[in-house]
Amino acid sequence: MSVNLSVFDAFHQINGLKIGFSNAGIKQTERQDLVVFELADSATTAGIFTQNAFCAAPVQISKAHLQQTRTQYLVINTGNANAGTGAPGYQDALDICQTLADAKGVDVTSVLPFSTGVIGERLPMDKITAAIPDALKNMDANKWFEASRGIMTTDTLPKGTSTQFEYQGNTFSISGISKGAGMIKPNMATMLGFIATDAKVSKEILQSICLELGEKSFNRITIDGDTSTNDSCMLIATGVNDAPELTDKNDAFYGVLKDQLEKVFICLAQAIVRDGEGATKFVSINVNGCANNAEALDIAYTVAHSPLVKTALFASDANWGRILAAVGRSNVKDIKVDDIQIYLDEVCIVENGARAQSYTEEAGSAVMAQDELSINIHMGRGDATETVWTTDLSHDYVSINADYRS
């Protein structure tokens, strides 16, 4: 089940990038589960990764390789996270890089590995290494849709988006895919994201953009409050466009490119929420009037992670007291309840420390019955504003995660 999420397959080709795939049969056999990206010599690569202390072996290696040399290949497997596997798992991920590097005659540090799936199990190395040559044989610039399917785990639908824009006589393209449906919560969430543009961007500028946009998108989603071991988001600029290289944030093109990329980042992040495990509601939690952004996020996540709020959302039950209680138990100090206003969409439910005089159960229930709604919280203590996107908590979420390894 997903909430107003449709399959996207109209990807623009990103010149300077090719994609190959194969089926290694890691966990299932009905679709591809191994994807390889090949980048042009002119490409620059940036990334952000999970902050979980038990970060998976591929995350450790990708972070290290990204700093050592120019990235030429990405290799992604699903069905097994290669997390919690210690030194043997680290060597497995490194051996995958070496297999691909040997096949293409490149340095092992130019290969970045990514894995997603079950934690705590060793990779089926014989299957993966056997599948890599097949993926390399079918490399093509128009395989974005196949890649979006190849990185899925519990996702019900592939996730992707693409756009083009004009600037000073040049046409620029952006395409991106993501995966994720559960164990979703910043700092980075069980998600992978791969976004590419044909613009020419210095590595320093690209990393800055990736960090900033990741904070506004993939670090503003939550389904269950669990931070994964494998989260990674990569931003690639292939540099094959004829336009000059972007090396300065004061360049007018910086703002133009960042705005276009931000739309893609947010679209892919929201797609993960829309496809949240068992989700029937897509919920925007908007908190404003805070003293700083940290307390706005604290309030938003306290509401978003409340099982009582999430189950009320699933039941379309306008039990507004659960929202009020969640705001009150956040870590924000010296809250003045009389200053707080809370709305469901445009329906005021709380003001002056109590139920709004204009509120009716019928109006609240009508909003809660929608498959998309917003919870708007006005704290009245400053100018800081933050938004977090989340889901309800359904019977299906429990079933999906109870049966995940079976």
Q: Annotated active-site positions, please? A: 190
Distance between CA atoms of residues 62 and 45, nearest Å = 11
Which residue type, as a one-letter code, is found at position 305? H
Distance CA 71, CA 403 (A): 37
111, 97 contact by CB (below 8 A): yes
Please choose, from the candidates 43, 45, 235, 253, the residue with its C-alpha nearest in 3D space to the C-alpha of residue 166.
Answer: 253
Cβ neighbours for 274, distance < 8 A, ≥ 6 positions apart:
2, 3, 4, 5, 282
Contact of 34 with 76, CB cutoff 8 Å:
yes
- Rounded-to-integer distance, Cα 153 and Cα 387, Å: 27
Check: CB of residue 24 under 8 Å from CB of residue 126. Answer: no
Residues 6+ apart with CB under 8 A from 257: 167, 172, 197, 199, 201, 209, 246
C-alpha distances in angstroms, 250 versus 91, 145, 148, 239? 43, 35, 34, 19
d(CA 173, CA 184): 29
Question: What are the C-alpha distances in Å from 335 to residues 177, 329, 340?
Answer: 41, 10, 9
- To the nearest 10°, the Cα dihedral for 141, 144, 145, 151? 130
In what helix (H) or strand (E) does residue 347 lie, and over which residues does it extend? strand 347-351
CA 262/CA 214 separation, integer angstroms: 9
Contacts of 143 (CB under 8 A, 6+ apart): 18, 19, 20, 21
Contact between 26 and 79 under an 8 Å Cβ cutoff? The reply is yes
Handedness of CA 275, 276, 280, 286 (dihedral sign): negative
Distance CA 362, CA 8 (A): 37
209: nearest Cα among 222, 196, 192, 221: 196
